Structure 1
Amino acid sequence: MGLKGKKVLISGASIAGPALAYWLGRHGFEVTVVELAPSLREGGQAVDFRGDTHLTVLERMGVLDDLRRLRTGGSPMVFVDEQGKTGLRLPADFAGGDIEVLRGDLARVLYEHSLPYADYVFGDSISELRQDADGVHVRFRSGGARTFDLVIGADGLHSNVRRLAFGPEEQYVSHLGYYAATWSLPNYPGLGFGEGSVGVNVPGRYASVGTDNRNPETARAFCVFAADRLTYDRHDQEQQKAIIAEAFAGVGWDVPRLLATLNDADELYFDSISRADVPNWSNGRVALVGDAACGATIGGMGTGTGIVAAYVLAGELAAADGDHATAFARYEHVLREYAQGCQKGGDRTGKFLAPGKLGIRIRNWMLSRPRILNWMLEEGKKATSLDLPDYRLPRPAQPSKSVPLLTASQL
């Protein structure tokens, strides 16, 4: 069918969405990205890239140097007990990989690089999908309607596209027994141990705080706690703050001061630690990428996997000359085993950060041994290794003109 005039709608403007928009645009597709949030999401925890595969894709995108300038410098981790006594210290590369950046910084860089190749629509979302031989007929929450050749869900673990085109979330997302939260707070005297983060462990709970090397006036709290599946409104932050406060009531060290800052937090991330397993990443003209297809909330190297998946999906669509059936099958063949291997790390995140009493002692003892720690770091790099295809780009690195942004009303 050829690529010219091939219209693709991407749902989600966080990480995988803008990365995919960039590559599809470079290959000649006409791309629209729709995002529920009114603007790019700021803040968030640090995310990392590790190994040659991640770095190669970032370099081919032309963003590697930008991210190196924005890198946090890594986040050493210190684990203490309720009296502040250190039980374990981990080096920056344990959590930070080869490059660590704040999630908000990464999202902005990817958005800016993709902007000349895609139209972005903020403050809207897909409300209905209907496929036929002519394409995917999409209705938006704002009331607009358009037809696209393909629709890609890059909208995370709780994917709206997956729900509409594949079925209810409960069929694909498994709760792993823990919840996580993070929010920003002002730095204060005596906070933490300087660079990196310091956190307290009690059985089944972990609460930490870390400073931003590039902005010493700001700190970030991060909490994990064990719990069965909770019922709450994902859009009600006050309810979520109450859940966090109850989960950490009575914990010592600096936790009362951290909880006191929660009331004034204007941006809070709170979610279950979960895993997405979708048997087939495509359904007709609709496909999933990143966490929507094979994600883990924390620890599953989802950011790096999403970047790689966007590169492969766009490349296979171009290689198949827009034949989505062939391209989607090839995309999944190349990526599934790799993504699932990376995803396994997320199954262990909650147990690592917030284990039981015996688990705390075993973790601290094992990772205090340099040989064991170095082995784990090497295994982490091996997990991100992929024989990466090299897709030919038909377009110059810079378009001849910029593309105007659409508003929700123009959909």
Structure 2
Amino acid sequence: MNDALPRYEETLASYACKPSETRGRVFKEPETPNRSCYQRDRDRVIHSSSFRRLKHKTQVFVYHEGDHFRTRLTHSLEVAQIARSISRSMHLNEDLAEALALAHDLGHPPFGHIGESVLNDCMGGFDGFDHNAQALRLLTRLEHRYASFQGLNLTWETLEGLAKHNGPLTDAPIDPKNPPESLPFGFRDYLPENDLEIHTYASAEAQIAALADDIAYSSHDLDDGLRAGLFELSELKRIPVVMQLIDEVKWTYPDAPKDVTIHELVRRLINRMVADLMVESTKRIAALDPKIPDDIRNAGQPTISFGADMQQAVKELKAFLFDRMYRHYLVNRMGSKAKRVVTDLFNLYISEPECLPTEWSERAGERNSAETARVVADFIAGMTDRFAFREHAKLFDLNRVSL
């Protein structure tokens, strides 16, 4: 092991996840001399084809609607930056938090949450579709980069954090060899070979990554919505914390142009949310007095959290964005196209799996079977927005000769 790693671990809290204490990987591998196990996890995520495809996957706006709007890739990078900063300040393992932040959206299909909803409807008779379970499936099954194993062979802590970053998946312990039918398919398929203890909370690092996601998409979707002209600063009066920050910016910089005002608002909003999270989480940690990472997992409630007032503010901001941005008619129009593209592709592929690329059609079973449906869902979920549009045009534009 790198001599610097023990010194690094000395800077971490007792309840942080430490590389020397990892529960390891399903497929044993020798450690590297210059990187910790969590750094290797992060690097494997970054070098995966699934991560590269996030560049052309929708956050809110489809890729071609503007070069400055967020994509799943830029969003994931922003989440990682916030997660690292918080973890470092709280003496937690920033490499693990970063790996989780970079991986958290890998399972999203094209066209964002609309694409996920439609694909879940298409899979209604075949165990459904869930983007969190799909991320686990990608990292353990579908990525093919190594000769010795399927997936990326990430550590237990990274896979656990990915599965449980939003909280426990069950109320009580389960038999991992016989997972309940209520769990999404990707979890049921994987748990028999690696018990992720889905009845407990995840590590503090995973909880940080989850709230960094909330901070990033709430503030940055607000930024994108303002810059796209979907709503104006004056319409944010219903959210007290945001209006307070707007007044602060306008008082400090009365002559600032609109784009600078928006940036100053967003950076202050991020800072306010991060500061609140750290204050509340520090209180909870002091009350819990954890000694090891499992004390965080078994706390019975989140240890990393916003305070009550900020929780309400985040709830109000999400409600505003849902009403004024995610359901804006311009977003709805693109969503309508996305629904048709995903539905058309799914129905064609499941009924004619021979139209899938060879490496995918070879995995399929009989037409309209559950086996074929899962292959089709895996294929569509891996598409970027632009690839889905192109594939749809190739298959449904009868005047197009070239395939």
Q: Same fold (TM over 0.5)?
A: no
Give the TM-score normalised by the residue count of structure 1. 0.25
> Comparing both chains, which one has the higher relative contact order based on Cα–Cα distances under 8 Å and sequence gaps of 6 or more?
1
Give the TM-score normalised by the residue count of structure 2. 0.25
Q: Which has the higher helix share?
A: 2
